[in-house]
Structure 1
Amino acid sequence: MPTQPIHRHTRGVYIIAATPFTATGEVDDASTDRLVDFYLEHGVDGITILGIMGEANKLTEAEACAFASRVLRRVDGRVPVIVGVSGAGIDNLRRLAVFAMENGAAGVMVAPTPGPAVEDRIRHYFHQVCEALGPGVPVCLQDFPQVTGVPISAATILALTRECPEIVMLKHEDCPGLGKLSAVRAGSGTVETPRLSILCGNGGLYLPQELARGADGAMTGFAYPEMLVEVVARHAAGEIDRAEDIFDAYLPILRYEQQPGYGLAVRKAILHHRGVIADPRTRAPGPKLGPLDQAELLRLMARTDINVKELNHGS
């Protein structure tokens, strides 16, 4: 079943999906189905796959296509699916993007390629990408300089919004980045510059402040998607303090999951302990939790359950 493409007024929570693996390292189809069901049951507005936290760079092209195809079939048009297609070669990028769109994706996500952080180079690259993909493929520009090593200024993001109509969404996860978010929000949706949807990453660590600055929602993979969904919904309803109370109940484990270079292993371990994926492994080279880490995490999960129960009891 086809779904509507992403657009300049896309809002809500687009969860970044993990890629589950079996104990022997293959993509785990059964866990993938459970993961999709888990996200949908918790009310997400969309799903983003094959991102950085989805270990896309560790998949073969055949694995990436098979995983995308399985997710899209399982979702079956119930929510939009965005497929990460970033890669060193535009031909490969285009091939995966075409496959994804032909199988029902709502759009694709593209990050800048590594290289000098020269504004003209970045603009030229995204012009090439949009030309290769054509006008029928909506693009989410991923701005994650902590990983890509390529900072993109607010001015360049706004210029690309004007110059490339295919770019309809920004995945904002620069850090510190609240000032940039404010600049992009103020500079788009004007006579000169089309509106740009802004969904925020970084695990949701700054979500209340980002929503207050004009973000349209979250695009991140925190292993408690129910928190992201409720915080965004409460904020949209004007219940700002209640949204922050909910956020605060999850903050200790959110902070723990956001440890640089280690957070993916934590995220997968939480999903495993919640009964969603069969095995928490990441593909090598990747982080792995030891016995002390596991004990620490289970204590945090138990405390999170208590915090949430107390919060609901007091509501």
Structure 2
Amino acid sequence: MITGSIVALVTPMYPNGELDWEALDQLVEFHLAEGTDAIVAVGTSGESATLSVAEHCQVIKRVVAQVRGKIPVIAGTGANSTAEAVVLTQEAKAAGADACLLVTPYYNKPTQEGLYQHFAHIAKAVDIPQLLYNVPGRTAVDMLPETVARLATVTNIIGIKEATGDLARAQSIVDQCPDDFVLLSGDDATAVELILLGGKGNISVTANVAPKQMAELCRLANAGQSEQARALNNQLMSLHQALFLESNPIPVKWALSALGKIQSGIRLPLTELSSEFHEPLKLAMEQVGLVSQSRV
């Protein structure tokens, strides 16, 4: 069910920080038209950390309604409180999400046993397919492959978004987990190599602005067409890198605004892209054939 290019969708906002529902609907339609295989609503790129619980649930419901069952919708429902993550996951199930994506509990720095108990508790509390999400660069906690392998035996924990970019780590997960456990990349630059190792797809920041290219890249990699997949990835590499000139989703929201897809709104403590990075990001966009209709 969950394979290919999965966009980590941004949450559009007006300059005053209010949510822009019309732009959200239009982004969903854009991805449906461009061949994106699935959508993550309210993940890191969707500014989950700055949305209220009510807004979080509203965005999930809106995306599910707009997708109309055409592709899977994965709801970001992780939290640093286990109880809050259960509530968000329950709300996502009620909204009709196909699966949930749960980040490791940030700031708390739980032990590996704490991580196991956290995710096992949520999986047992809510009957919906669940994906783990390991991104130690943002959370200050690293879920080791041995813990992932333990969790892979828990009913309805179906896979992981592994965002370290460490291919040895990815191989270890493939080796230790069941064949039907879904390994997804969370790092655009190394996604092709992870898929070629046995991964199933990529939860992508780059797909926000280059959805057709990322869908093709994942299709080629999943088909084992390594030479073509790597060649396309090389063409996209400058964009992958430019989208992290500052913390995600700062650059990607600026890029979407420059393309006329959304307004410039972003919530504190995140700020708009620093002016020194405008030209490097524009150049990277131009290099992959994205024509700017700049508003900024």
Q: Which has the larger radius of gyration?
A: 1
- Alpha-carbon distance in 1 for matches of 2:56, 2:168: 35
1:125 alignment partner, one of 106, 118, 122: 118
- Alpha-carbon distance in 2 for matches of 1:165, 1:53: 28
Please name the residue that 1:168 is paired with.
Answer: 158
CA contact (8 A) 1:109 1:141 kept: yes
- Alpha-carbon distance in 1 for matches of 2:25, 2:156: 30
- Alpha-carbon distance in 2 for matches of 1:270, 1:258: 12
Residue 167 of structure 2 aligns with an amino acid whose one-letter code is: L
Is 52-61 or 289-298 further displaced after alignment? Answer: 289-298
User: CA offset at residue 64 of structure 1?
Assistant: 1.1
Residue 145 of structure 1 aligns with an amino acid whose one-letter code is: P
Please name the residue that 2:197 is paired with.
Answer: 213
Kindly indicate whether residue 219 of structure 2 is the aligned counterpart of residue 233 of structure 1. Answer: yes
1:99 alignment partner, one of 84, 91, 94: 91
Residue 59 of structure 1 aligns with an amino acid whose one-letter code is: L
Kindly indicate whether residue 182 of structure 2 is the aligned counterpart of residue 197 of structure 1. Answer: yes
User: CA offset at residue 92 of structure 1?
Assistant: 2.7
Between the two proteins, the alignment pairs up a number of residues equal to 288
User: CA offset at residue 117 of structure 1?
Assistant: 4.7
- Alpha-carbon distance in 2 for matches of 1:20, 1:154: 35
CA contact (8 A) 1:13 1:46 kept: yes
Please name the residue that 2:144 is paired with.
Answer: 153
**TM-score, length basis structure 2:** 0.91
Please name the residue that 1:270 is paired with.
Answer: 255
CA contact (8 A) 1:265 1:280 kept: no
**TM-score, length basis structure 1:** 0.86
Identical residues among aligned pairs (%): 22
Please name the residue that 1:312 is paired with.
Answer: none
Kindly indicate whether residue 34 of structure 2 is the aligned counterpart of residue 42 of structure 1. Answer: yes
Please name the residue that 1:51 is paired with.
Answer: 43
User: CA offset at residue 13 of structure 1?
Assistant: 1.5
1:178 alignment partner, one of 167, 170, 181: 167
CA contact (8 A) 1:117 1:152 kept: no
Please name the residue that 2:293 is paired with.
Answer: none
Q: Secondary structure at the match of 2:249?
A: helix
- Alpha-carbon distance in 1 for matches of 2:26, 2:242: 24
Moved over 6 A (4+): none
1:302 alignment partner, one of 286, 293, 296: 286
